[in-house]
Structure 1
């Protein structure tokens, strides 16, 4: 199959090159406009209780605003009672009232808690009538443009914050971080490639392929983002994998082409076809293994994970497609011009031409395999032990970059008001018989439940359908009046101004918001919030029989980390087992061995746990954290990081294993004994794998200096994993263990040797 593909590509190379060039034009436009259609941090777990509750509030409670904008004002000279201050607030309110879709603003005049003690700081709350994130994002953008036109008097500061604005700013920051990282890293990568190949053309091709795979994938995401929820961090994943894997695979293809052209003496067209046959098979298999891990990210029913998994799959697919079509087409045209300028190539060969180094290194390791095997594996085990101390947390706005306006505004909010108001728990009640929630028997059940909850949990206050700080009898006059009118609809006919935002349109459901003693913006508070949510839900399930007519849901912002963590880690064991089994079977049939895949899977898992241990050292214990620009130490890892890193690392860690084992197997099949095959395989791949590993490390490490902590974790984690894989594992563990295994390396029971499958994988 690959032979036919290579022949087809060489035959129609000009058309193929033209096709990809034409695709770059719309891709460039789409990639530059991608940030306008991304959706910030889409962290909801679909199907979870909070997700269902949010859908209920959106549908049945039109006066409940799930999205909002807050205008945070600060004055160094004036108090809110001063005319200049009160007139400024009034101007903002009038602007908000003039924007369609903005709810009536609420200020300190309606809620005195929105005013600081010195009366110099305050904020205005504006609910958004949008029923979904996309509409809220558009409305928030329109509203903020209008609000920014209000002129600030001297001595005043204004900050805008709120969910949609935070999501949009995250998108902007992640896009800028990606662009700045590429700007810093690409020149360094170019220098490494020149040292690796010695030629400007040979060095430029992998760089070009990496940039093209990134650009084309971002263009595809632009289209998909109009139909799917794509998180802003997807563009960083695409940049990381696009540059890292794109350059990695192209490096292998170019190196093999030069070998076929100059060492074996084939013509440029035949060399390109043979490159597709050999190196093409390697990158196809490697990309498949990487994709297995990325597919696993689609298993948890979390939008954020789906978005990153899909983005990763797309960039790997595009990279493979470019490597099997565009790159060999270009190579078949270049021929020996791949070594332009030739003088530079000769200089590089004279400086780096000691190929026997890797052969001698392999022989040295194999001379003391037990020692090097124990030492290298022992190092990884020691690092892995720190994984036992791992803590998890969900990101909060307070760990975001100080330069973000939404963070600045939010921190001023906390100075103005009690911290409890910004991570409330929402409780909804639905009557199973569809009777009005305001009937006394339903109210008594709701009140009794909340009273029991308050006796067990650190609840500060509540507002809504019921309020346990007041006796039940204090609630009954209003609800008896509703009953006297025959329902809210009839009551509004006589009293149009009546507002009951905590009762649904069909009157069979009610809601309340309760504020608890933890704010959820630090590690301790976040864990306490999660425990509170879980405790209330567990208590509700235990006493459900006491409230037979009520369906009670517990959600709100505090439930996000709970449901994300449950959705992710309930599936984690299955994901690990599935990834390991599928990778093992694919590797076993490809290499015709039961022992080599077992070694590869074991070392991959060890590489992942050692990476986790290093992450704990940096992000929990603060080792070298200042070098990465971490001012506020999280003291834990992001709740999404371990699974995402596992899925990506497990696939990437197979890359160099595959490159090396392919060449070792080729030599073994050509008649070399196991030791000689290992030594020659390392000799032929040592330089290229070292260069590829260094490039990947540089690319990923560049993202470790991003401003967003989650990108720092991804970048550093991937860089550490590639370093471990390309040095400790590939240089010491693999040759040592293969020497110890001897002929057992190639053992495959006859009942597992399926000729058709083996031929299909080889072709």
Structure 2
């Protein structure tokens, strides 16, 4: 296959480039529509009790409260005549909005739960209609219309789930723009440093552009037929640029190495595609397999990263395998044009003394060199022993975000608001006596302030109602019960309350659905935990099979899996220490909270896939030398000597793309960017530089072991190196850059 790709590039190079340009233009046109089809949200399991409760409430009760307007009297208390008149006018105007339902105002109900303890503020609750995308747009329109001064007597600020999601979407776009503004120029500078010539430095950007534009087109198509999260854009840009650079860096380095060894342009292309091209194909397969595990989760937030990740990896690999060889044929020795005057004669990709000496030192003293590194990584992983998980809320936004400020006021100045209540839905007729008995038992649970039903309001487990019922909670064929508590939203106690509510015996013949903020968190954690073993098993199995087909050994895949898990453990441990335990919060400007469960799973899959990317880069060269007859030590030392600079340069360039998201205002995007970048650097330096040669030394000849049956299978079905030999032997010292 790789020989045919090389021959196509040699014989039809200009046609290949023309087709590539046309494809990029078409994909760019299609991809421009992606932003209009992608959705916010997607953190919930649609099959969970909380999601089904929300759906029933939407259909039969006008929807859960997702917009909270915090209204403050400009002067005096909210019960003053001027404030009361303006408050009623505000509620009346809101009821006229066609995208709002279930508008409930303090001034219409005189409910003490809707008035602040100091009497200066009150609440208006509402439900914003529409799917995730429409809801964001509808919420933004309402907020833009009513936020700020109202009739000179009130000041309105917006909070609640719809406002938080709207602000998160806006902030995500701003974070992405800032990250790319930092990453792209810095990446270009680093490419010039790595390659030492302008033309060679620009080639990886070609692949990056192809990968990003192509994936945008893919997301547009998928977003037109299924739910896709808008946050997939962030992964597309970071991973597209990074992998495009990774793959192109390997190809360009190998091509220039072949030219420096005396090969003609066509022979250099054949050798490059047959070696580096084969490595890239396997690398892309391993990364895609890791990201493919995200597709097993029901939350479309996670599935969307799987769509984007698989797409960007596949398109980057295809672009590298077909476009780069054609560019090499057209450019020839001009690939070295624009050499920077201060650059020395070394050719990127040639054997580097530093990495070779490091590998030789490690292999001679594996325990002495590897044990300290292993100890540091295990120490870094230790915070995982205390890890807890949560879902995104207003705390991921910067402190100056309005919806976050509103949430803080609700916690401090209001007692038991409906916005954070649990919503129990009985999707069938229920008699008054069974309903009352059920509500009384719910009201006796620890932390519950009151239980609101259509028949009455109950508190403290007393059978006598403490207040009138709410007619909007009763339907002929369904009942809705609001369980309002004084517990902090998403706290451990709030999560325990969800389980306790679900354990209370329901009226006979009914199957209650429990929704609300706390229930969504519990269900999301349970859903991910249920499918996580399958995702991990798929990643491990596909990685093992691919590496076996690549190396012909059953030991190499196991060694790679163990080392990658150590590296990932250290990365996740450091992120837990920072973002959950709050270290560096003052420096990075975030609020410490439990690890965001979906983003942690995503970071695991991304970091694992990229670790395997560098695993294949290094192992391919070691295996190439081993298959040519080199002993184990020479193969590892020379293999790392040849690939060490490529891996370290690729890691630095890719890490820049992710570290740029450390400037984000959304804390979970900060965690994703910093964690992914750290994982890349740990893998490239500690694992590839120290632990891999140490493991290879300790394993010795058994590193390439496979049972006889599997050896026969690999001999028949595995992909082995079949590229032609180089035109001339590689020199001991690399010559100066070839002139154009």
Q: TM-score, normalised by structure 2?
A: 0.89
Distance in structure 2 (CA, Å) of the matches to 1:151 and 1:37? 34
How far, CA to CA, are the matches of 2:199 and 2:526 in structure 1? 50
Aligned partner of 1:503 among 462, 474, 480: 474
Pairing 1:701–2:659 present: yes
Deviations 1:166-200 (A, max 9, x none): 22321221121111011112222222211111011
Q: Which residue of 1 aligns with 2:219?
A: 221
CA 72–450 in structure 1, closer or farther in 2 if over 3 Å, else same: closer
Matches within 5 A, 1:529-608: 529-537=494-502, 539-540=503-504, 543=505, 547-608=507-568
Q: Offset at 1:657?
A: 1.5
- CA contact under 8 A between 1:466 and 1:475: conserved in structure 2? no
Q: Tell me if the contact between 2:38 and 2:133 (Cα under 8 Å) persists in the aligned partners.
A: no
- CA separation in 1, counterparts of 2:441 and 2:196? 75
Question: What is the rounded CA distance, in whole Å, between the counterparts of 1:657 and 1:421 in structure 2?
Answer: 52
Structure 2 residue matching 1:501: 3-state secondary structure: helix
Q: 2:709 — aligned with what?
A: 751
Q: How big is each residue's C-alpha offset from its partner over 1:590-625, in whole Å with a ceiling of 9 and x where there is no partner?
A: 101122211111101111111122122212333333
State which of 208, 211, 223 in structure 2 corresponds to 1:210: 208
Shift of 1:582: 2.3
Aligned to 2:454: 465
Aligned residue for 2:641? 683
Contact 1:104 1:126 in 2 (8 A): yes
Question: Partner residue of 1:181?
Answer: 179
Q: What residue is the counterpart of 2:585 in the other structure?
A: 625
Corresponding residue of 1:481: none
Tell me the distance in 1 between the aligned counterparts of 2:304 and 2:347: 47
Quote the Cα distance in structure 2 between the aligned partners of 1:76 and 1:89: 12
| Residue 446 of structure 1: how far off its partner (Å) | 2.8
> Conserved in 1, the CA contact under 8 Å of 2:67 and 2:125?
yes
Give me the whole-angstrom Cα distance separating, in 1, the residues matched to 2:88 and 2:436. Answer: 39
Conserved 8 A contact 1:39-1:134: yes
Q: Counterpart in 2 of 1:46?
A: 46
Give SS of 2:663's match: coil
> 1:202, CA displacement in angstroms?
1.0
Counterpart in the other structure of 2:569:
609
Alignment partner, residue 138 of structure 2: 139
Counterparts of 2:433 and 2:6 in 1: how far apart (Å)? Answer: 76
Partner of 1:282: 279
5 Å matches for 1:268-417? 269-342=266-339, 344=341, 347=344, 349=346, 355-414=352-411, 416-417=413-414
Q: How many residues align?
A: 717
- Summarize the Cα distance change of 1:587–1:303 in structure 2 as closer, same or farther, 3 Å threshold: same
Residues 555-613 of structure 1 deviation map (CA, whole Å, 9 limit, x = unaligned):
22221110110011122233223322221122123101122211111101111111122
Look up the SS of the partner of 2:520 in the other structure.
helix
| Structure 1 unaligned spans of 5+ | 479-498
Determine the C-alpha separation between the residues in 1 that align with 2:180 and 2:359. 35
Q: Which of 452, 455, 473 in structure 1 is aligned with 2:444? A: 455
2:38 partner SS? coil
Kept in 2, the 8 Å contact 1:213–1:246? The answer is yes
In the alignment, the residues of structure 1 paired with residue 20 and residue 88 of structure 2 have an alpha-carbon distance, to the nearest angstrom, of 56
8 Å CA contact 2:51, 2:520 repeated in 1: no
SS of 2:481's equivalent?
Answer: strand
Looking at structure 2, the residues matched to 696 and 457 of structure 1 have their Cα atoms a distance apart, in angstroms, of: 50
Structure 2: which 5+ residue stretches go unaligned? 724-740
Closer/same/farther in 2, CA of residues 351 and 223 from structure 1, 3 Å limit:
closer
Q: Which residue of 1 aligns with 2:196?
A: 198
What is the CA–CA distance in structure 1 between the aligned matches of 2:468 and 2:413, rounded to whole Å?
A: 35
How many Å separate the matches in 1 of 2:126 and 2:618? 60
Deviations 1:122-162 (A, max 9, x none): 3433333x3543443343344445446x8756796432334
Q: Deviations over 1:214-271 (max 9, x none)?
A: 233234323422332222322222222122222111111111121223324121x443
Quick one: structure 1 residues 500 and 90, their matched pair in 2 at CA, closer, same or farther if it must change by over 3 Å?
A: closer
Contact 2:416 2:485 in 1 (8 A): no
8 Å CA contact retained: 1:35, 1:171: no
| Distance (whole Å) between structure 1 residues aligned to residue 456 and residue 362 of structure 2 | 73
8 Å contact 2:554–2:706 — kept in the other structure? yes
RMSD: 3.0
Say which SS state the counterpart of residue 613 (structure 1) adopts: helix
Q: Take 1:760 and 1:354, find their aligned partners in 2: how far apart are those partners?
A: 23
